[in-house]
Structure 1
Amino acid sequence: MIDELKQVGPRIRAIRHSRGWTLEQLAAMAEMSPSTLSRLESGKRQASLELLIPLTRHLGVGLDSLVTPSVPDPRVRRPVIRRDGMEIAPLTPEGSPVSTFKITYEPVTEVPEPRVHDGYEWLYVLSGKLRLLLGDRDLVLTRGEAAEFDTRVPHAMFATGSRPAQVLSIFNSDGVRMHTHTAEE
């Protein structure tokens, strides 16, 4: 919170400049001395509600726009999940409304049983060949191809050929549970 308060003065100055007002003009409107406003803008004076409320009224901004929280670290650091011959790398933060994963499917010797669950899946093949069994369709998707389907239709996916297939997959919460949780969870 201390870092956010340090930004109040520079934000007031930036808004004042964007309005084309001098220090003296804004200080007069807010009924404070130019030296008080100058010290506030430079961080030499602590921001208080007594000072900020008249300033925000005249600047036409809310208090929350002056005390914006710092930007959190946007990097996603979640462990890779390995199950059923797949390596599943989460690409979105836990709890996101839509979850994205990079999934590596290894070639298989036996065709997996098709599964059914609530939801939708969207996928994009990054490399290799992905075989998609979807209802009565048997499709092979290659690099650059995408698919979207209702997961209530029986489906199975696996790499075909001798190389793994890397896929970007987007699931809703039902798909996340089905693909990333084991039977014991």
Structure 2
Amino acid sequence: MPVPGTHGATASSADTSLRVGARVRRLREDRGLSLSALARAAGIGKASLSELEAGRRNATLSTLYALAAPLGVPLAALLDEAVGAEVSGGGVTARLLDVRHHPDSTVETYVMHFAAGEVRHSPSHGAGVREHLVVVRGALQLGPDTQPCEAVAGEHVAFDADVPHHYAALGDEPAEGILVIVTPAGIPSRDRSDPP
């Protein structure tokens, strides 16, 4: 993981911001959405979206998840499928390890770092999206908001991610895991009138 404050981390962060911004803009334009329409559908400010598209604002995990749903794409698509791209926010960092396209699905693999005591809330993804997480350090509470479970290092949890769900680092130690997201091919985007 890059060391904060080093030249490499700054360059990587700037490169990721530009790549993410360009990708969001291309996807938005391909779908015929205005800045206002996408910002409204994602529940973010129009000025924030404009700065993100220009590469002047770092996207957080929350922002990217909010944008992925109305654009109808997996998270990796917003990272331009750049292996090693990292995005963080709210004490959680995700680094893309791999993305594979199969005839019936897209499979994204991330390494996730959770600061001690942090909770990562995620909106529902499209129908049929499934998440798998292997805890490699610490302990996590994870899964659907209505029925989460707990897992410690060495344990695996899988759940349907088409409902609001969360990850919470338990105890006083950070947690890490390998997250695999399986998105069915041709998944319809969430209705644009739905709240994020």
Q: Normalising by structure 2, report the TM-score.
A: 0.43
Q: Which has the larger radius of gyration?
A: 1
TM-score computed with the length of structure 1 as normaliser? 0.45
The structure with more strand, counted as a fraction of residues: 2
